[in-house]
Chain A
Amino acid sequence: MSEILLRTGRLGFAYPARSRALFGKPEMRDVIKSVDLAVPRGAVLGLVGESGSGKTTLGRLLVRLLEPTAGGIQFDGVEISHLTEEALRPLRARIQMIFQDPQSSLNPRLPLAVTLTRQLEVYGRLNGRRDRRDKAAALLDLVGLPTAFVDRYPHELSGGQRQRAGIARALALQPDFIVADEIVSGLDVSTQAHILMLLKDLRAKLGLTVVFISHDLSVIRVLCDEVAILRGGEVVEHGPVGRIFSHPQHAYTRQLLAAIPLPDVEPGWLDDSPSRQQPQQQGSAA
């Protein structure tokens, strides 16, 4: 599995900060600084960081919702950093994004049959009404929703069902690369575990390559093969999940791991002593 599907080289993104002088050249503020990532085909890479770390911006660069201001992105050997929208179109079918809030990616006024197959329509892969319903039903089935949901509207679904529909929408064009941005963070524990299992299944079944963005290291551990820790727009540590979690090298990674409240009673966790800054690892050998 050494073939790299997506690679970034010294990737950077800056936006103009509010400038004080009216005619002065606006100062640029770096949000992503020289990020080098390589995602092997079929792998799941976790991107972790706290708010303001740039993880969402990085995700949006990878799917080219944003254009990089430095460095490059190669997708399947093609440099996509500065492709025009038209040149990107064939690639867009292969690169999809799943958003945190499925409410915002599902049109509230359309039944799921239409929303889920909208992209197929745009790409001319739909043959009339019958075909639309069949394809929508197949997508619903793929994500574990009843096929009868084709006629449902987003507000008729629970939070977990909506997130499943959001995943189905992203899978319509049979993409090989998906960026999922905080897609389980608003969900209850019982729902969250089901969505994580679904993603694991889909990834195996469809051979997806995934970049999974989350602030939650515990969730990353469940789903990802590799993890990159982001802080202030830079990757501070990057490697296989098992190694990063059991032998974190960077002080920031250790600090993040130590701050996770594991569901074990642990007297002293709330004390501010520096020894507590070390990660506590139990049962991580397997």
Chain B
Amino acid sequence: MSAILEIDNLHVAIGAANVLRGVSLRVEAGEVRGLVGESGAGKSMVGRTIFGLLPSRAKITAGCVSFEGRDLLALPDRQRRDLLGRRIALIPQDPMTSLNPVRRIGAQMAAVLQLHLKLSKRAALARAAELLTEVAIRDPARVLTLYPHELSGGMRQRVLIATAFACDPSLVIADEPTTALDVTVQRQVLQLVERMRQRHGAAILFVTHDLGVVAKICRSMTVLHAGRVLEDGLTADVLVKPHHAYTRALLAATPRADRPADALKPVPPALIESLWAEAHRLDQLAAARPA
């Protein structure tokens, strides 16, 4: 299999603090890979590095991100911007902050299509309507004339999913796209993402903290903690036979609707402390080594 995305030994620091400590992962063509971690694990930083959206004080101190064989980090800004949105798309967590509140849905979707596919305004709007139909929006012509606040949370997320797949990207980065949604809506959105992925043939890097979501939509998964990859493998293997103590602890601490109450075991604080201590030890080793 060929890798669409290959991240190798990525180190990112914000000021003096290391946030990614040598992350490596591969996303194969057409697969969905889950990137799992709790807050502070650095999972969003991986997506932000790919998109060049790291905070201004952040620095990539080592590593390489290659997309379809090209080194993204070495690419001139212009060429990189041309890839983003067209070949690499993003489904963000909060649809309200990523849609412009004062522009109609149609204008926002058309802008993407006009820019990347060089369509005329009329053709772009027609294509936007088709895309909305693909994400099961019933009255696309009307929705195109609405403003973001006139849509429900689930509808807004559908619009963003449609936009993400608009230019047939080969990689979509989904950053916790269902975190704020009700379970029944979450399920519909996950079904939709999967259907769009199959239709448009993209690979997805699915960033989430929810092992349940990973189990349902990801073929493979990477477990991140303190900016380090602790476990990596096929979802079916990792969830059944986790190798790392942290993955096991996370699974045991996840409440399950199908198990009685006493099955729940909180993550031992000593385990978290030892993982952080290990991460800091690595930082010191790296700092002591001459550059």
Contact = CB atoms under 8 A, between A and B. Distances in A.
A259 B216 contact: no
B288 interface: no
A215 B257 CA distance: 12
Interface stretch (A99-107, A125-133, A277-285): A277-285
A271 B240 CA distance: 22
Interface string B258-291: 1111001111000010000000000000000000
B38 interface: yes
A122 B38 CA distance: 39
Given A264-B215, A265-B239, A50 B183 contact: yes
Contacts, number: 126
Interface residues of A, number: 44
B187 interface: yes
B56 interface: no
Given A190-B249, A193-B267, A197-B266, A263 B255 contact: no
Interface string B27-56: 000000000001100000000000000000
Contacts of B215: 261-266
Interface stretch (B64-72, B81-89, B139-147, B204-212): B204-212
B213 A261 contact: yes
A233 B267 CA distance: 36
B191 A270 contact: yes
B253 to A, nearest CB: 4
A19 to B, nearest CB: 21
A217 B257 contact: yes
B259 to A, nearest CB: 6
A264 B187 CA distance: 15
B251 interface: yes
B172 to A, nearest CB: 16
A221 B253 contact: no
A284 B258 contact: yes
Given A189-B38, A242-B260, 12 more contacts: A189-B211, A193-B255, A194-B267, A196-B266, A221-B257, A221-B260, A259-B184, A261-B183, A261-B210, A265-B236, A283-B258, A283-B259
Interface of B: 38-39, 153, 182-187, 190-191, 194, 209-217, 235-236, 239-240, 249-251, 253-261, 264-267, 272
Q: Which 10 residue pairs across A and B have the least CB separation, nearest first?
A: A261-B212, A190-B267, A193-B266, A218-B255, A50-B182, A188-B38, A193-B253, A263-B211, A259-B183, A259-B187
22 contacts: A50-B182, A188-B39, A188-B209, A190-B266, A192-B255, A193-B254, A193-B264, A193-B266, A196-B255, A197-B264, A200-B261, A217-B257, A222-B261, A223-B261, A259-B187, A261-B183, A261-B187, A263-B214, A263-B256, A265-B216, A271-B191, A286-B260
